[in-house]
Each structure stands twice: as C-alpha cells, then as structure tokens.
Amino acid sequence: MIVVTGAPGHLGNNLVRLLLERGEAVRAMVLKGESLESLKGLPVEIVEGDVREPSSLDRAFQGADTVFHLASIISLLPGQTELLEQVNVRGARNVAESCLRMGVRRLVHTSSIHALVEPPHGTGIDESVGCDPARMSMEYAKTKARGTLEVLDVVRQGLDAVVVFPSGIIGPYDFKPSESGQMILNFMKGRLPATIDGGYNFVDVRDVAKGLLLAAEKGRRGEGYILAGEWISVTDVLREASLVVGRPVPRLSVSPRLALSAARFLTWLSMKTGKKPLFSVDMVEALLSNSQVATDKARRELGYSARPIRESIRDTVLWLRQAGY
C-alpha cells in the first residue's frame, strides 16, 4: 500500500495517476471537507487525515509500505504565519514520526527548491548548499527548510526517508490553479495587462511525479535531490501559450521590483475583498531569486529527466481549456 498526503493537489493527483498506471494500490490522504474533484473516478482508497493530528496520520499510514508526503502550505496571505508553522514544520515532523512508529519502509518528503540556501546570482544551486532557515527571507522558504531539517532529524532516529526539492511546477490536472497555472489562465482570459520582466526554473508536474517514484526506488537514505526543468522568461511562457490560445502577448513589461510593489498592494486588497490577487508576492519574489539550479545528482543517481518546458506549457493550456476554465 502506498499513501499520498496532499493527494488532491496539483502534484498529488498527478502522482496518484502515475501510481495507478503502474498498478499500485493507493491510499489518498485528504483533509476533511476538501474538494475531491481531482481524484474523481480514480480507484483509490480515501482516508481523512491532518498533518497537525498525529493520531490521524497513524491511521492513514497503517499497513503502508511507502508514504509520499506532499501536503503543505505553498503560498498564503499575511497573517497566517502560524498555519505555515503548523503544517510545513510541525506537520512534516509529525509525518516523519508517524512513519517511524507505523513501520513504514520509506518516506519520500517533498520539500521545495526554496528550502535550499540561495547563493548569489551567477552561482549554481545544488543539494550541497543545504537548508539554513536563518539565511532565508521568505517565510515560506524558512518553513520548508525547517520542515526538511525536522524530517532529517527523524532519519537520524532510524527512519528511512529521502527528500526531493522541486522547482516551479507547471502542467496539466491543475484543478485548483497553482501560481503558474493561474498566470496562464489569466492570460487565456485576457486578464493579464502586462508581463513581468523576469523568469524562473519551471518543471513539468508529471516529471516531478516520476522523480518522486525514482526517489522512492533509488534514492539514498537521508539524501536530497533537486527535481527541476529549465529556466524560461515569463514573456516566453506567455508566447508559448499564445500559440495555442491565439491571443497576443501584452506589450507592456514591468520590472520584478515594480511588480513586487504592485503584488503587495494586490495582496492587501485581496484581504479586503476575499478575491485572489492577480499575482502574489511569493511569485514575484521567485522571479527575483536565483533559479540557476543543477539536477546532476538526480540525473546521475535516480535516472531523472525532464521534458522541454515549452511542451509542458502547451499541455497546460490545452488541459485548462478542456477542463472548462
């Protein structure tokens, strides 16, 4: 039995689909009341669980051979930092300790490229830079780094676990549009007045799902692996989408720093209106970050590879259109 936490999410449901294709028995852990649209029609066992409640994890992990831990808070509005702490840090510890208690053979913990220390621009990022929350500014990055360190601490107590560090995920089956999916959707709907003069390392969600399986099969205990794709500018993302949509790319381009100021205002406004901002502070800060990442270790030890990101962008647009967004 394989358990996937955060199964209804973008990466989660893609991983579930891949596991089912391989004939695996899958138990999908979901939050009480969470939408299960992304898992509709899939032959999986649904179990309610919450990373903040260790007893619910013990029930979910009972009899499991492998646990893929994907549940986390990826981006949120100000004023919810305690939720980040509860889910990304204490929740990661709870998952690891439950796996150890319940005799799970292997845990694959999904961290983030932002959990790794970011060196100056021009210097590549690999797994050797490590996780040091004190050297990070974004609260999300700090909690993902601390959560990763909590898991590795339980490894020292006897748990068999592997960590993966994905870059910016993009791709189909994005039912509750992610940051990248929402950007493409806004462009498709004509709601994007300008592009942002910057770029990021994006990776196809399906390749990350395959990377998770490779980590479970071949990863070394206590080691971490970067799962990334390629750097592409925001303008080129929209250009690729425009080939499918038939809509011209906005002529206006703003600097990331100007966009960051706008994002802070839009975030404040969204707290008043309850509507999701056009683009988030996290997204813009990611465009300002060093995203020159190396996947040599994952390629060498796991046999990891990633498809051309332009193919992923086209597939995302086609899926969003087919899904009726």
Write down the pLDDT at residue 76: 52
Residues in the chain: 325
Average of per-residue pLDDT across 204-220: 98
Distance CA 99, CA 176 (A): 28
CATH number of 2-169+201-228: 3.40.50.720
Alpha helices in the chain (DSSP H): 10-21, 54-61, 81-84, 91-101, 139-155, 179-188, 205-218, 234-245, 256-273, 281-288, 296-302, 309-322
* 44 CB-near residues (< 8 Å, 6+ apart): 7, 16, 20, 26, 27, 28
Whether the per-residue pLDDT at 282 is higher than 80: the answer is: no
Distance CA 60, CA 57 (A): 5
Q: What is the pLDDT of residues 19-64, one digit of tens each?
A: 999 999 999 999 999 999 999 999 999 999 999 999 999 999 999 9
Q: How would you class 26 by CB atoms within 10 Å of its CB: exposed for 0-12, middle for 13-18, buried for 19 or more?
A: buried
Write down the pLDDT at residue 53: 98
Distance CA 118, CA 142 (A): 12
For the chain, what is the mean pLDDT? 93
Range from 184-188, 200-204, 258-262, 305-309 carrying the lowest mean pLDDT: 258-262
Distance CA 11, CA 81 (A): 23
Q: What is the pLDDT of residues 272-281, one digit of tens each?
A: 776 777 777 7
Q: Are 87 and 52 in contact (CB under 8 A)?
A: yes
Which DSSP category does 125 fall into?
B
Write down the pLDDT at residue 312: 98
pLDDT confidence band for 79 (50 / 70 / 90): low
Whether the per-residue pLDDT at 304 is higher than 90: the answer is: yes
Average of per-residue pLDDT across 3-17: 98
CA angle 208, 214, 219 (to 5 degrees): 115
Write down the pLDDT at residue 322: 95
Pairing of strands 253-254, 195-196: parallel
